[in-house]
Structure 1
Amino acid sequence: MLRKSALVIFITLFSSLAFFNFCSADTSGKTTTAKDFDPNEDTGFFYTIQKGDTLWDLSQRFYSSEWDWPGLWEMNQEIKNPHWIYPGKVIRVYLKDPTKKIKPPEPKQEMEPIIVQPPFIPKFAYPMIDMVGFIRPQTIESLGRIIKEEDSNLMIGTDDLIFIRPASEGSLAEGTIYHVFETEPVQDMETGFSGIKHLIKGSIEIIEDKGTYVKAVVKKTIREFREGDRIMPYFDREPVFEVVKNPQTIDAVMLCSEDNHLMINNGFIAFMDRGRRSNIEQGHIYTVYQDNLPLQSSNTDIFNNHKEVALEPLIAGQVIVLHTEEDSSTIMVVSSRYDIQAGDMIN
């Protein structure tokens, strides 16, 4: 089913409005009162306006078409007048639909000077990146296990106090923040991939060492804590990073989502079976493909003989790499035209 929903960081269709006024950057130092995109709070692609930038020029440099600039303005409604954008302002940007064809420019009779534009490199912000899981060949060593919540409450939330049994003496240090996690096996029968999914449930801070147990305060929960949940070091990751749109071919497979959704759509965190060994890095953008199966009636000729018809794959969406391991990567779906599923191809 064609998906009509999308992250706030994207717009699916833009009207083909043709405005001939240029949107020049004001260098007077005036600031806008509207709230800018905040990489510490907001998720999405963004770009910081430089002196001399215009929405027209940015549209040409990023989307190879000046006429996509109304889409940029639509995404950044705090810009009251598109003719004036200010250096230092952070604006939201979107990924171009990989299925959209760009009309080549008409050949010109006269030679024009070639103007080399500086590279337009957007960035991606994901403030919750410290909480994304990962897949490794073996389970990471546990530093301890949750015994119970201080008041024996079944539901454990932010600021609650909990007791933890350390794996060994000194394995959990006072004043240190740790991740709480659980694991489950991941296996793909077709590719032979196997590993252990580490699902991060939140973070805690050790406040007191009692010898045989430690006392901790819950800093953040994104999934329910339970008795027996394990403790591992806190992985501090950079929430803002540059985007690489055209990395090399990888021939990867979508393994699963963090929470094993059957349909993996916009904003979902998932995993693929390629990582650093395949030169994959944080910020790489890849396209998700699905088999394009012909209708049953098209598989026979006029004599009712069965025949195979190979169709080119469907483009189902795009993903961005958030974290890499040696042979796997954690990814986020940033656009989806169809419901993405485990087993879909990524390239």
Structure 2
Amino acid sequence: MAFRTILGFIVPLLCSSALLAEEINLNPSHPERYTVVQGDTLWDISGKFLRNPGQWPLLWSYNNQIKNPHLIYPGDTVYFSTVNGQPRLSFSPTEASAVSPSSGPCVLSDEDIKNGRTSFALSAEGKLRPCIRESVSAKAIQLIPADAIQKYLSLPRVLGQNELNSAPYIVDLAGEHLIAGTGDKVYVRSIDQPESLTYAVYREGDTLVNPETQEVLGYEAKYVADLTLQEAGDPATLTITKASGEIRVGDRILPTNEQEVVLNYFPMPPEESIKATIIGVHDGVTQIGRYNVVVIDKGTADGLKTGHELDIYQRGKIARDPYSPVKNDEVQMPDEYAGKLMVFRPFERVSYALVMQARKDIHVLDKVQTPE
């Protein structure tokens, strides 16, 4: 669809005084060195040195050598040390790229060009030896695996009551099709004054409900396909440009807008005290684990923003006490810490979040809250 998404991952080079005053909680079993492997994320690496990987900006900020942790590549090595009581990380690039300028083949890296390298290998006659221009082809590590949330950055949508049911709908398919797919034309009621040239097909999804009050918080609209307007009118003619499923008569149409969404992930706890509940999970999983996308029953109206991290607590079970003098006595077991999640797409009253850590099995109706 006509919707461009840019994933931006920022590292503050200058932390606020409040951030600098925060105490770093080290992982007691942290390694002295770690070599980055394919598939690592910045969150993974930080978790090897920290109890709470969300403190990564604080730890990396102490280290002048690591200008940008997002430019670390598989094969690079990170070293841990303590200087004047402060934890520090030092960094060495892949051994293959660390070639001495005075021996062996002359290798000119992108970083050398950027920094204006002036020392080069000389031949026995004192002449400059030819250099090989080396470019890094490996992909730098990310804070989180972007593909885990990519499809949720613009789709699906959470709408208000009757918002989907009042939208234009497909009244017929071109040709003699019962269902339509990519490249087919469809006819849509009442697009006389188009808001956009690009539209998306949606179908009714889950109703999002507060589990305690049963109040409806929103209605999920499930994405089906992208459309391009060919001719306005009643009916209007549109062409299917991309489809993730079958398009049928009666499916609803909503406009999409050409825009960029820039998400700067800087995980931090909310300023407010948030107590929420997991009310849904995507991709059809029943037991929620790391990098699954969940829906929680709090949103921007409650103070949640992109990047806010929350602790997950496994809901304590109710156990029957056969030894109690009270007949059929039951005891509520305490909730147990189960992991962390990060909000990446907040709506007004609900939010989509990515599970970053999962120490126990996580389920719908488990609790989430501001870290203590």
- Between the two proteins, the alignment pairs up a number of residues equal to 270
Please show how residues 21-170 of structure 1 align to structure 2 within 5 Å: 62=56, 78-79=74-75, 83-84=92-93, 90-93=140-143, 126-140=149-163, 142-154=166-178, 156-157=180-181, 159-170=182-193
Q: Distance in 2 between the 1:136 and 1:237 partners? A: 21
Q: Distance in 1 between the 2:213 and 2:351 partners? A: 16
Q: Distance in 2 between the 1:195 and 1:60 partners? A: 29
Q: 1:279 aligns with which of 284, 300, 303?
A: 303
Shift of 1:179: 2.2
Shift of 1:264: 3.9
Structure 2 CA distance for partners of 1:91 and 1:139, relative to 1, 3 Å: same
Q: 1:257 aligns with which of 267, 277, 281?
A: 281
Shift of 1:279: 0.6
Structure 2 CA distance for partners of 1:208 and 1:261, relative to 1, 3 Å: same
Amino acid at match of 1:78: P
Q: Distance in 1 between the 2:282 and 2:176 partners? A: 29
Q: Distance in 1 between the 2:294 and 2:324 partners? A: 44
Structure 2 CA distance for partners of 1:302 and 1:146, relative to 1, 3 Å: closer
**Equivalent position of 1:291 in the other structure:** 315
**1:271-311: CA deviation from partner (whole Å, max 9, x where unpaired):** 22211121111221222222223665xx3448797765554
Larger RCO: 1 or 2 (CA < 8 Å, sep 6+): 1
Amino acid at match of 2:235: Y
**1:122-160: CA deviation from partner (whole Å, max 9, x where unpaired):** x99843244433434413254421234444445544x32
Q: Does 2:259 match 1:240?
A: no
Q: Distance in 2 between the 1:60 and 1:45 partners? A: 10
Structure 2 CA distance for partners of 1:189 and 1:243, relative to 1, 3 Å: same
Structure 2 CA distance for partners of 1:17 and 1:318, relative to 1, 3 Å: closer
Structure having the higher Rg = 2
Name the % identity.
17
Q: Distance in 2 between the 1:336 and 1:223 partners? A: 32
**Equivalent position of 1:101 in the other structure:** none
Conserved 8 A contact 1:124-1:240: no
**Equivalent position of 1:206 in the other structure:** 228
Q: Does 2:241 match 1:219?
A: yes
Q: Distance in 2 between the 1:164 and 1:234 partners? A: 18
Q: Distance in 1 between the 2:29 and 2:355 partners? A: 25
Amino acid at match of 2:93: W
Shift of 1:258: 4.5
**Equivalent position of 2:32 in the other structure:** 18
**Equivalent position of 1:230 in the other structure:** 252
Q: Distance in 2 between the 1:36 and 1:260 partners? A: 24
**Equivalent position of 2:353 in the other structure:** 331
Q: Distance in 2 between the 1:140 and 1:234 partners? A: 15
Q: Secondary structure at the match of 1:128?
A: helix
Structure 2 CA distance for partners of 1:17 and 1:282, relative to 1, 3 Å: closer
Q: 1:177 aligns with which of 189, 198, 216?
A: 198
Shift of 1:45: 6.1
Q: Distance in 2 between the 1:46 and 1:16 partners? A: 14
Amino acid at match of 2:309: I
**Equivalent position of 1:112 in the other structure:** none
Conserved 8 A contact 1:164-1:213: yes
Structure 2 CA distance for partners of 1:265 and 1:213, relative to 1, 3 Å: farther
Gaps of 5+ in 2: 1-26, 61-68, 79-91, 95-109, 115-138
Structure 2 CA distance for partners of 1:133 and 1:309, relative to 1, 3 Å: same
Structure 2 CA distance for partners of 1:250 and 1:222, relative to 1, 3 Å: farther
**1:49-77: CA deviation from partner (whole Å, max 9, x where unpaired):** xxxxxx989x99629889xxxxxx9xx77
Q: Distance in 2 between the 1:190 and 1:163 partners? A: 42
Conserved 8 A contact 2:33-2:77: no
Conserved 8 A contact 1:144-1:167: yes
